[in-house]
Amino acid sequence: MRTELFDFHLPPENIALRPASPRDSARMLVVQGDGVLRDRLISDLPDWLEPGDQLVVNDTKVIAAQLSGRRIGRETEPKIEATLIKRLDGSRWQALVRPAKKLAPGDTIRFGNEGRVCLLGHLDASVEAKGAEGEVTLSFSFHGPMLDQAIADLGRPPLPPYIAGKRAADERDADDYQTMFAAKEGAVAAPTAGLHFTPTLEERLRARGVGLQRVTLHVGAGTFLPVKVEDTEGHKMHAEWGSVSEATAAALNEARARGGRIVAVGTTSLRLLESAARGDGTIAAFEGETSIFITPGYRFRAVDILLTNFHLPRSTLFVLVSAFSGLDEMKAAYAHAIASGYRFYSYGDACLLFRRGEEDVRSP
């Protein structure tokens, strides 16, 4: 499909720079299966679900993947900004760097601020290779847990560019940019639909009889990238590592067999579940990389309802929600959200999407 079909204008004032407080006080636009829109709050989520439904959350944890340093060993020492995007082994990471033109294979980057001690005093990495779009392979001087600690000491939260371009990351972001489910380190971007959850909301969902299952998808920086090609068929997704345990797959299959619905909390959970789904809609255990790109016409097998934030124009995520609820329906929903002052993107509000054409059990 033509990428321009997924474009829209978003006024800058609709971009959220801080999350709602408390988290479950954020707004939630319900998009019913017949396209009807209802303005609600995240705290209303239990009213839209039924006993036996299963929420699936992503328990990935964001690492301090943004590193600042300088190239050393040559006549000039330009500043270098690096965002780690994919671990290759115990000492090597793939990263996006700026300015990439200042680096060549064999160069050394020294990360850390002068005077700030990190283990042995600094963290060095050599450039092993460069890609076509600013990505490089970095080989660090530390390995395994020692490298993890050095990155945690020297790095900072990798805020999305639409936030980082307007303000610097601070101590609040270290907590704000993690979900309450964060447990397994490896993401360089938060699964932002999960940011809306609080212990109180979880208690109310369990009291309603709604189950909560965990999966892991380590979100990569590719989630921020727009579709640059004229046709969506030409877009290549970045691969991300994920896992669905045997126990989680069994619990979801059992619940669905009893009539329960699977509710993906975020597009990351949805993409992982659809990657793990068999042709008959049952879910298998899964461990490995997925680069699934869901576009209109895709037949959803695993997910019945999607809770997700509002996404960027021309992004793979807006393409995904258009496949789930219909392109015309999502354009109408986004136009309503913009006109009504909903807050967009990672720290913004959410929408609860029912699959296009399917009848909702409840319409409170």
Spans of all domains in the chain: 3-62+174-354, 66-155
Q: Could you read off the pLDDT of 278-300 as tens digits, one per residue?
A: 999 999 999 999 999 999 999 99
pLDDT score at 223:
65
Show the tokens assigned to 176.
Answer: 């704000």
Give the amino acid at 269.
S
Show the tokens assigned to 18.
Answer: 């801080």
Integer CA distances (angstroms), 20 to 48, 49, 132, 350, in order: 21, 23, 38, 11
Torsions phi, psi of 30, nearest 5? -90, 125
Handedness of CA 217, 222, 224, 225 (dihedral sign): negative
pLDDT score at 362:
52
Integer CA distances (angstroms), 122 to 192, 259, 296, in order: 32, 56, 48
**CB burial of residue 116 (10 Å; 0-12, 13-18, 19+):** exposed
CATH superfamily of 66-155: QueA-like (2.40.10.240)
**Residue that the structure tokens 């780690």 belong to:** 84
Report the alpha-carbon distance of residue 261 to residue 277 in Å, rounded. Answer: 14
Show the tokens assigned to 90.
Answer: 């115990």
List the beta bridge partners of residue 262.
54
Give the amino acid at 277.
A
Report the alpha-carbon distance of residue 71 to residue 80 in Å, rounded. Answer: 7
CATH superfamily of 3-62+174-354: QueA-like (3.40.1780.10)
Counting as low any pLDDT under 50, the low residues of the chain are 115-119
Q: Could you read off the pLDDT of 50-94 as tens digits, one per residue?
A: 999 999 999 999 998 889 999 999 989 999 999 898 889 999 999
Residues 271 and 237: beta-carbon distance below 8 Å: no
Report the alpha-carbon distance of residue 158 to residue 61 in Å, rounded. Answer: 12
Report the alpha-carbon distance of residue 294 to residue 257 in Å, rounded. Answer: 25
Q: What is the DSSP string of 286-313?
A: EEEEE-----TT----S-SEEEEE---T
